[in-house]
Structure 1
Amino acid sequence: MIEENAIVAKIEHNQVWVESKPKQGCGGCLQKSSCSTSVLDKFIKKRSIAVDCDIELKTGDEVVIGISEGILIKASLLLYMLPLVVMVLSGAVAEAFLPSGYEHGDLVIAGTAISALLLSLWAISKLQQSFFYTFFSRPVVIRRSTD
C-alpha cells in the first residue's frame, strides 16, 4: 500500500475530499529559490480529490490515505503504455497501406502516428472520470495521522 499524508478539505454528500499535506522540508530549505520542487509548488494549484472513507472525520483533520500498488501499476500501464502502443501500431498500419515509392510516405506515417497518439491521449482524458474510476479503485483513508 502506497501511503500519503493529507488534510480533509471538505465533506459533502457523504464524500471526503482531501488535499495533499504541505511538505515540511521546503519551508526551511536554503535551496528553495533554485529548486524545481519549490517553483512547481507555487504554480501548480492544489487539487482536492475524493477518497473512500469509513472513519468519522471533520474538515481540517490530518489523515493517511493509501492506494494499492497493483492498482497503481495497472493504471500506469494503461495511461502510459497504451498511447505508445497505439502510436507505433498506427504508424505500422499507415506504412503497410502506403503504396511503395510514395514521395511523402515518411511524413504520412509520422503524421498518422502522432495523430493516433494525440487521439488516444484525448480519449483517455475523456474516459478518466467515467470509466477509470470504476475500473480502478480510488484511494482510501487508512487512518488519522498521528503526526
Structure 2
Amino acid sequence: MIETSARVVSAESGVVRVEPATESGCGGCKSRSSCGVSGLGKYFSSTRSAIEIRCDVPVAIGEELQLSMSEGDLFKAGLLAYLLPSVMALVGAGIATTLGGGDVGAVLGAVAGFCIAFLLARWTGWAPTLSAHKTNHSTEGVTP
C-alpha cells in the first residue's frame, strides 16, 4: 500500500475534500518535485488544490486522514496514462507509414493513435481507488 496524510477541508454526506497535510515526498533530497518514488506525494503536490474522496467515517474539518492506494492501482493508472498512449501512437505511425503516408502520414497516424488511446482510457471509466481512514493521532481519538 502507498499511503499519505491529508487534512480535511470540508465534509458532507460521505464526501470529503482533502489537501496535503505535510510536504510531499520522502524528504531524502532536494528534488521532491521531480521524484518518481512518491506516487501519492506527487498527486498531492503543493501546487495541487484539494480533491474530493469518498469517506464513510464521520470526520470534522481540520482532522487528519490517512489515504492509501494499492500498488496495483497505481501501476494500472500508469499503464493507462503512459503506456497505452505511447504504444497506440507508435501503432498509428506504423500503420500510416505502411499505407504510404510518408513522414506527414506517420505524424498524423501517431496523433490519431494517441487520440484513440486517450478516448479508450476515458471510456473504460476506470480510476484508481483511494481509501481513507482516520490516523491514530486524530483529534477524536478514533482508530480506523
Q: State the TM-score, normalized to the length of structure 2.
A: 0.69
Aligned to 1:63: 65
Give me the CA root mean square deviation.
3.0
Stretches of structure 1 that go unaligned for 5 or more consecutive residues are: 26-30
- Provide the identity percentage: 25
Larger of the two Rg values belongs to structure: 1
Worse-superposed segment, 86-95 or 47-56: 47-56
Stretches of structure 2 that go unaligned for 5 or more consecutive residues are: 34-44, 139-144
Match status 1:116 vs 2:116: no
Structure 1 pair 111–24 and aligned structure 2 pair: CA distance change class (3 A) = closer
Q: State the TM-score, normalized to the length of structure 1.
A: 0.68
Q: Deviations over 1:65-123 (max 9, x none)?
A: 1011111111111111000011011011101211xxx7xx1222123213432x24653
Q: Deviations over 1:44-83 (max 9, x none)?
A: 2x32222232322111101111011111111111111000
Match for residue 144 of structure 1 among 118, 123, 135 = 135
Q: Which has the higher contact order (CA 8 A, sep 6+)?
A: 1
**Secondary structure of 2:126's aligned partner:** helix
Q: Which has the higher helix share?
A: 1
Aligned to 1:86: 88
Structure 1 pair 120–69 and aligned structure 2 pair: CA distance change class (3 A) = same
Measure, in 2, the Cα distance between the counterparts of 1:106 and 1:13: 54
**Secondary structure of 1:87's aligned partner:** helix
